[in-house]
Structure 1
């Protein structure tokens, strides 16, 4: 993780050309890096198949020339583009988010203290509210994830928005998800709903996104559908049920829906190629939130039922997240 963070901060992924491989000398000149150290960084990254090394034809057979080229993994580290995961990686490797890992045992012991609170004296949301720089890191990380998830949703789960004329993104950060939805479906009125300090920092939208501040535990703006992406895994069961209830109150009883984009951890014995990632994310929730966790399908069913929904559907998409649609 530290080496990947180094590569992103040095701008290596954005400097390596997408079409033409770049030599170590060219990379050093562009980035103004020490060739000995940069070579060792690139040697490690190519060994891990994050970049690939290509031999360039040379008249000096005794001294072959090599260049670096992109792989599908290295493209994820570029700061620009809908596939970028750079902001999420920079958030998770930041000193603020690394510190709680040193206190994980404090969370596990009986009557233990939350790891993030042990490290910083307050929970992650209170910390972000008082530290604008860290809040921006969180919003940028969630935005890069939204760019990937919304695109896949629109391709593979169009039924989520069928017959919908308005959507409220509960905990929508800087409004990236709703901006993408509005561009793809201009007939849908899109509302980005989050806490006041997040909405205050949200950029002005050129796609008629309504930014609304508030508290999702108390009330949610009215819409045909409420959208929750990577929100409920931050909270315990009681809090999730309350959030779902306020969302249920915000949507019409007929044709209304709550769309949940979250990981679904399958039970033992079920072969899921992304289960390892989901379980790692569960450890992140343990380190970074007070009571958040990843959930199995049975646990999601419990929350939805307890919140008063009559039925729900589940669709797996090409993502760590699945799409759960709950109906009143």
Structure 2
């Protein structure tokens, strides 16, 4: 540090020390995710939520039928990062209690993150990240295929447990996002007689829409193997098929987190089929898309960061999927035959795009 004053040298040393701490956490960041996943898989947030008083280590280890030694070390770590905390029991000993963060991992809790967290941090989902550099060096290389020998959709069709992880995670996101759409721009569903949810999975989105808009007849459309797991619901018909072939006719087509999985050419094909599905309704027909819209300049930094992170996920988990900018959305919509569209923001990282023939 030759040439620096004493104060400058001290400041530089402090910056280096902070950088080393930050890098240390980045290098070993997977430990945090693994520890949280362990707690969620074991159901520790659920156990604490259902226990009236602070729960001692011996009580928790007894409830889990496990050794207290590794459990203590994991709980100590999770308390240090704010997932759980300690509180004195009526008997004077220390026990574990929930925090606002840990309550988000209660599996049956309102707005629970548990299903999304377990999907994102499952071994199947995390393995492809080891091949991100291979994708950079060759855009035709799919990290997911490198890790598992087949693409995401084929793997999910052959592995029901993984398919369930995806469905549960998407249902969680739907329970957050669809109400945000209904609250942020309820006029989107005004005057619609029927809505087909393309790639609707277990029908969660339509159940929320029909409950809030009972005048709408819902058509839950997904692959034939996905439809049987969807529960029956008044006002909703479940239809199996292939969106690349055709889409059931309706007043409006609703697609949430579907188009970002596919290339521009595949998106244009899906959107073309959606346009044909609403054709008989003329100017009253439309397609409702709920997806991220990447801001090229400016915009809400937090929302844009979320969109850019989703784009990296698409780079790893899909062959040609991506998040799109406003210009890229215009391109695929015009190519699919839509003459105009609007983009509306909601309380989410996603936006609502209404496309008209």
Alignment-derived partner of residue 198 in structure 1:
226
Alignment-derived partner of residue 213 in structure 1:
240
Aligned partner of 1:7 among 13, 34, 39: 39
Displacement of 1:16: 2.1
Instruction: Deviation per CA, 1:285-312: give whole Å up to 9, x if none.
Output: 1111000011122222222222221221
Displacement of 1:147: 1.1
More helix by share: 2
Aligned partner of 1:163 among 187, 191, 202: 191
Displacement of 1:274: 2.7
1:19-98 equivalences in 2 (<5 Å): 22-25=54-57, 26-51=59-84, 53-56=85-88, 65-71=94-100, 73-98=101-126
Q: Tell me the matched-pair count.
A: 322
1:294 and 2:294 correspond: no
User: Are the equivalent residues in 2 in contact too, given 1:221–1:250 (CA < 8 A)?
Assistant: yes
Q: TM-score, normalised by structure 1?
A: 0.90
Q: TM-score, normalised by structure 2?
A: 0.83
SS at match of 1:207: coil
Distance between the aligned counterparts of 2:64 and 2:190, measured in 1?
48
1:312 and 2:344 correspond: no
Alignment-derived partner of residue 185 in structure 1:
213
* Shift in CA distance, 322/48, structure 1 to aligned 2, threshold 3 Å: farther
SS at match of 1:190: strand
* Shift in CA distance, 215/30, structure 1 to aligned 2, threshold 3 Å: same
Instruction: Deviation per CA, 1:180-206: give whole Å up to 9, x if none.
Output: 222222221111101111113x23313
Q: Based on CA coordinates, which of the two structures has the bigger radius of gyration?
A: 2
| Greater mean alpha carbon deviation, residues 222-231 or residues 151-160 | 151-160
Instruction: Deviation per CA, 1:123-170: give whole Å up to 9, x if none.
Output: 111121222222222111111111111122222221111111111110
Distance between the aligned counterparts of 2:139 and 2:49, measured in 1?
52
User: Are the equivalent residues in 2 in contact too, given 1:235–1:292 (CA < 8 A)?
Assistant: yes
Distance between the aligned counterparts of 1:32 and 1:160, measured in 2?
51
Distance between the aligned counterparts of 1:295 and 1:45, measured in 2?
36
Give unmatched runs, 5+ long, in structure 2: 1-32
- RMSD between aligned alpha carbons? 2.1
* Shift in CA distance, 300/153, structure 1 to aligned 2, threshold 3 Å: same
* Shift in CA distance, 179/276, structure 1 to aligned 2, threshold 3 Å: same
User: Are the equivalent residues in 2 in contact too, given 1:166–1:224 (CA < 8 A)?
Assistant: yes
| Greater mean alpha carbon deviation, residues 273-282 or residues 311-320 | 273-282
Distance between the aligned counterparts of 1:86 and 1:292, measured in 2?
25
1:138-149 equivalences in 2 (<5 Å): 138-149=166-177
1:106 and 2:123 correspond: no
Alignment-derived partner of residue 259 in structure 2:
232
Instruction: Deviation per CA, 1:207-234: give whole Å up to 9, x if none.
Output: 3421111111121111111110110110
Aligned partner of 1:281 among 298, 306, 310: 310
| Greater mean alpha carbon deviation, residues 296-305 or residues 8-17 | 296-305
| Greater mean alpha carbon deviation, residues 86-95 or residues 216-225 | 86-95
Segments of 4+ moved more than 6 angstroms: 57-60
* Shift in CA distance, 147/262, structure 1 to aligned 2, threshold 3 Å: same
User: Are the equivalent residues in 1 in contact too, given 2:82–2:99 (CA < 8 A)?
Assistant: no
User: Are the equivalent residues in 2 in contact too, given 1:58–1:65 (CA < 8 A)?
Assistant: no
User: Are the equivalent residues in 2 in contact too, given 1:135–1:198 (CA < 8 A)?
Assistant: no
Give unmatched runs, 5+ long, in structure 1: none
